Amino acid sequence: MKFMQLVLTNDGSHTVYLPELNESYHSMHGAVTESKHIFIKSGLNACKLTSLNIFEMGFGTGLNALLTWLECRKQGMKIYYRTIENNPLGNDVIKRLNYGQVLGLSRGDKSVFRYMHDAPWDEDIEVDKHFVLSKNHGNLYDYNLHGKIDLVYFDAFSPDRQPDIWKYEIFERLFRAMNAGAILTTYCTKGKVRRTLEAAGFKTETLPGAPGKREMMRAMKASSPGSE
Ligand SMILES: C[S@@+](CC[C@H](N)C(=O)[O-])C[C@H]1O[C@@H](n2cnc3c(N)ncnc32)[C@H](O)[C@@H]1O
């Protein structure tokens, strides 16, 4: 496991900082604020489905899974949430994450977050009757993207730090595993990433970014690669 530090972001919520990469898991303008904006408001809430398969690139702190579970309960959706992680957080970091406190969660809901982290890897875990969590311990490069995905949370480290993950081969595999009309949402708006997504078959759009960032990007699988 790589050395990690827990740091506070501007909305009072934690993020993880990796000195080795000189990169944090979230925007320093606010981890919870950013995740809600990019993944919940611009992703989950933009899907018009009541039952959906989500794939998250990078489980990390579990913040996106927690926010998705809270939203799915609020909206009465059914969600199968699959995520991949090659460098799980240590228990010393997990137990100090302050998302429950920042989000004002009840003791029961805080224990669900803990349950998500304690859940075994590589198994389908029924968190409740609306939400199944499948945490996969491995590398996205080798992961078999089976199933029909409706929504992708593409939450990798930035292309400057992790260029290999923003490549055509990855986006093309995701595209093939996604249903027509499915959405991929990401904080990254780099022109090169946009062109790569489009080459893999996605239609892209620029949306207002989370506080502190001008823009974000959403990509949609309209139909098959190369066609309108
Ligand atoms: C920017 S962080 C976001 C994490 C998470 N979504 C969150 O909100 O805390 C990127 C995550 O992707 C994971 N990761 C990076 N490269 C990976 C790879 N090739 N395969 C699987 N996971 C990877 C990292 O360990 C890290 O947890």
Burial of 46 per CB tally in 10 Å (0-12, 13-18, 19+): middle
Cα distance between residue 23 and residue 21, in whole Å: 5
- Arithmetic mean of pLDDT, 76-91: 97
Q: For ligand 1, is residue 87 a contact (CB within 6 Å)?
A: yes
Residue 228 clears pLDDT 90, i.e. is over it: no
* Residue having the nearest C-alpha atom to atom 3 of ligand 1: 25
Q: For residue 227, what pLDDT is reported?
A: 46
Q: What is the mean pLDDT of the chain?
A: 95
Q: What is the pLDDT of residues 184-208, one digit of tens each?
A: 999 999 999 999 999 999 999 999 9
Q: For ligand 1, is residue 25 a contact (CB within 6 Å)?
A: yes
Domain ranges in the chain are 31-92+104-220
- Ligand 1 center to residue 102 CA distance, Å? 22
Tokens 């611009």 correspond to 42
* DSSP codes, 178-194: EEEEEEEEES---HHHH
Q: For ligand 1, is residue 34 a contact (CB within 6 Å)?
A: no
pTM above 0.85, yes or no: yes
Question: Given the CA of residue 156, which atom of ligand 1 is nearest to it?
Answer: 10
Coil vs helix vs strand at 60: coil
Tell me which CATH homologous superfamily contains domain 31-92+104-220.
Vaccinia Virus protein VP39 (3.40.50.150)
